A and B are shown apart, each in its own frame.
Chain A
Amino acid sequence: MPAGMSLIVKTVARLAVSFITVFGIYIIIYGHLTPGGGFAGGTILAAGLVLLLLAFGRQRARQIVTHEAVITWDCMGALGFAAVAVLGYVAGGFFVNFLARGEPYHLASGGTIVLSNSAIGAKVGAGLFGMFWALAAFRSSRTKEEQP
C-alpha cells in the first residue's frame, strides 16, 4: 500500500481527480439553483481526494495534499459558517440573510446562501478526507509494528 497502485490506475486517477474536483466545486457553488448544495459537493470533493490517496499511496498523497492544508481548510470552513451566522447581527438577528437578493437564477442571487454553501463544502470535504487519512495512517503504522 505505501507504493500505491499500478501505472494504469495512477494515470486514470490523475485525470479523474481533476474532473471530480471541478464537478464538486460546481455542485457546491450552484447549490441554490440546481440540486446539490454544500453537503453533496463536499462529499464529492472528499471522494476525489480519497481516490488520490488510494491510487498514489500515503506518502505521495501527503505531498500533494498536506495534513496542515486539510486541517486549515476544515477549520476555515467551520469558522466561515460561524462568521456568516454572527454577521447576521448586522441586519438585526442571528443568522439573518443580510445580503441583497439579486435577480433569480443568477449566481449571486441567494444572499448569504452562496457563502454558507462554500463554507460547508470546504468543511465537510476536508473533514471527511482527514478522517479517512487518519484511518489509513493508523493501519499502515499498525501493520509495521506487527512484524516481530
Chain B
Amino acid sequence: MTFGTLPYVLALVLMLIGLYVIVAKKNIIKIILGVLILEHSINLFLLLQGYRHGGTAPIRAPGQLDTEAFAATSVDPLPQALILTSIVIGLGCLALMVCLAVRLYERFGTFDITRIRELRG
C-alpha cells in the first residue's frame, strides 16, 4: 500500500479500536470513551479528504488579492465546515451519555453493565 492510502488506513484502524472498546468492554465509562475515540477517528478521516500537498488554510489575508493563485493552493474548506459542527455535537452527546451514566450509578450503585439487569419502566 502506497503513501497515498496509508493515512486513510490508519484512521480506519483508530475507528476499529473505538468499535472494539464499545463492543467488548463491560464498564459504562469505558464504553463512553470508546464512543469518543470513534468520533475522533471519523473527524480525522473527513479532514484527510480535503488536504492538498503544500496547501494553506482557506483564509485569505488582506494582502492576497489574486483569486486564481489562492484557489490553486488552498485546502478544501467544505469538509472543515462539516467537521466543525460534528465536534461540538460530539461534546453535547458526551454530556448526555455522562448524564445517563450518572443516573445509572445512582440507581444501581455500579458502572458494570452486566450487573444492571432490572429494566423497569
The reply, when asked whether chain A contacts chain B directly with Cβ atoms under 8 A, is yes
Interface of A with B (CB < 8 Å)? 34-35, 37, 39-40, 42-43, 105, 124, 127-128, 131-132, 134-135, 138-139, 142
Chain A facing B: main interface SS: helix
**Given known contacts A39-B84, A138-B102, what 8 new A-B pairs fall within 8 Å (CB)?**
A34-B59, A39-B85, A39-B87, A40-B84, A43-B88, A124-B88, A131-B95, A135-B98
- Shortest 5 CB-CB contacts between residues of A and residues of B: A131-B95, A39-B88, A105-B62, A39-B84, A142-B106
How many whole Å from B110's CB to the nearest CB in chain A?
A: 15
Number of residues from B at the complex interface, CB < 8 A: 14
The answer for the CA separation of A139 and B91 in the assembled complex, in Å, is 20
The answer for the CA separation of A22 and B53 in the assembled complex, in Å, is 36
Interchain residue pairs with CB less than 8 A apart (14)? A35-B57, A35-B59, A37-B84, A39-B85, A39-B88, A42-B88, A43-B88, A105-B62, A124-B88, A131-B92, A131-B95, A131-B99, A134-B99, A135-B98
Please indicate the chain B residues that have their CB under 8 angstroms from the CB of A128 in the complex: 91-92, 95
| Chain A residue at smallest Cβ distance from B105 | A142
| Chain A residue at smallest Cβ distance from B81 | A37
How many whole Å from B100's CB to the nearest CB in chain A?
A: 11
Chain B facing A: main interface SS: helix
Please indicate the chain B residues that have their CB under 8 angstroms from the CB of A139 in the complex: 102
How many whole Å from A50's CB to the nearest CB in chain B?
A: 12
Of B57, B91, B98, B102, which one neighbours A43 at CB under 8 angstroms?
B91
The answer for the CA separation of A97 and B85 in the assembled complex, in Å, is 20
A135 touches B59 (CB 8 A): no
Please indicate the chain A residues that have their CB under 8 angstroms from the CB of B85 in the complex: 39
| Chain A residue at smallest Cβ distance from B88 | A39
Please indicate the chain A residues that have their CB under 8 angstroms from the CB of B98 in the complex: 135
A135 touches B88 (CB 8 A): no
| Chain B residue at smallest Cβ distance from A145 | B106
B95 touches A132 (CB 8 A): yes
